[in-house]
Structure 1
């Protein structure tokens, strides 16, 4: 699960991982508790950025260069904002080998009591094992259920 610290986001636009469950497979994303990922190209980051207006997202991600971490990484701010706006309608984000080749991630928002996004829950899988379409079909209902349970627990 990724948490979002607004102060930190304003300083370096990353997401902070505050909880993690290990998979049983040998391949790992290498993301650990306390790890930071760039918000512009990670599924969790995009979900967390989706609470802001397009202008505010541009302001947050446009302060510094957005390097292509893979050939699939979106680096043009307007393309990233468009992707974030589309996820608002869908209710989830997919990063399809944008953060790292061979890794796909799916994330959903966790809303606080006032409806504000306070965290994101995600799952990552090897692109050799799970196609992007299959990722959302298989794991979206599970992630949405986890997000609801987190909201109910608070």
Structure 2
């Protein structure tokens, strides 16, 4: 097997690069031949924009409430949950940390905004998930043992 010399590598590399540039520029040349459309407002002539309402409806909500998220950490972030038909659809951060005051009247700064972690923002998955606790768990036979 013949060894590759540096000279041969540079020749073949240069040829490959030149070929790529020539083939790539042919599509650029084809785009230059296209003429722009003469439409004053493209949004008026755009066909059937009803599909956009699907994306807007994803963020629609009936009501919202705030809650404190403390999933085994010390931050206690205040989050806002948005509900539709009584079911939480998404959770967002509340941008009001700068209005928090403690018992002495000390305020936090806006530098803490946004306050929330991915664990808290997925809390609704834990609430509605298939592995949630649906009732208090007491072992059967515990009462007989205690009596």
1 or 2, which has the higher strand percentage?
1
Q: Normalising by structure 1, what TM-score?
A: 0.20
What TM-score, normalized to structure 2? 0.20
